[in-house]
Amino acid sequence: MTDSPLEELEAHEHMEHAEHAAHGGDPLLTYVSITIAMLAVLSAVVGSLETVASGQALAQKNEAVLAQARASDSWAFYQAKSLKKHIYGIAADGGGPKADKYRKTSGENAADEERIQGEAKAFEKERDEKLKLSQTDEDRHHKLTVAATLLHMGIAIATIAIIARRRWPWLASLVLAAAGSAVAVWAYV
């Protein structure tokens, strides 16, 4: 999902805290400020990838639904052809002046049956492939959501390092950044 206006405002506020701290002359504050800027960029990239994965999952599911509808239509047509084949077969077995014509029509319906059955099975295969792709994209979306959350947490905790002028929150933010980055990479492995 894309960042909400509130999340963008919070990220902007964190960046401003970082800029003010960078002018203070303390090397820790400079490192923290750079970390916040890098995490903000990384968070934006991961957020964009998350949105793309979500859209792809939805598109694949829609295509799977369409393929299922086509398969259902083909199977219905197959059943109609099969029924017609049997009716013409019964009529041909009954004899009479049109028996040969009915036998020929029954054979034509039998040939159509195989072609239609093949189409229906192809649509079902396409459906299954689209569902598999959708699941992959959905899993990727969930992992990227976790990654973005970890990166946002890293930004927030790094800001605490500036306010408290302590090193441990900055180190914690680096750990969260590493974890978020690892999860983002894992989403594509």
Of 13, 74, 45, 16, give the one whose Cα is nearest residue 177: 45
Distance CA 18, CA 156 (A): 11
Residue 104 DSSP SS3 = helix
pLDDT at 10: 64
Asked whether the whole model's pTM tops 0.75, one would answer no
Q: What mean pLDDT comes out for the span 34-41?
A: 95
| Own/partner pairs, 65-73, CB within 8 angstroms, 24+ separation | 67/123, 67/124, 67/126, 67/127, 67/130, 68/123, 68/124, 68/127, 70/123, 71/120, 71/121, 71/123, 71/124, 71/127
Question: CB 155: neighbour CB atoms within 10 A?
Answer: 24
55-67 b/e (C-beta count within 10 Å ≥ 16 → b): ebbeebbebbeeb
CA atoms within 13 A on the CB side of 173: 27
For residue range 122-178, list pLDDT tens digits in order: 999 999 999 999 999 999 999 999 999 999 999 999 999 999 999 999 999 999 999
Answer yes or no: are the C-beta atoms of 41 and 184 closer than 8 Å.
no
pLDDT at 22 over 90: no
pLDDT at 5 over 80: no
Q: Using CA atoms in the order 158, 162, 167, 170, what is the torsion angle rounded to 10 degrees?
A: 10
Distance CA 124, CA 66 (A): 10
What is the residue-wise DSSP string for 121-147? HHHHHHHHHHHHHHHHHHHHHHHHHHH
For residue range 49-88, list pLDDT tens digits in order: 999 999 999 999 999 999 999 999 999 999 998 998 898 8
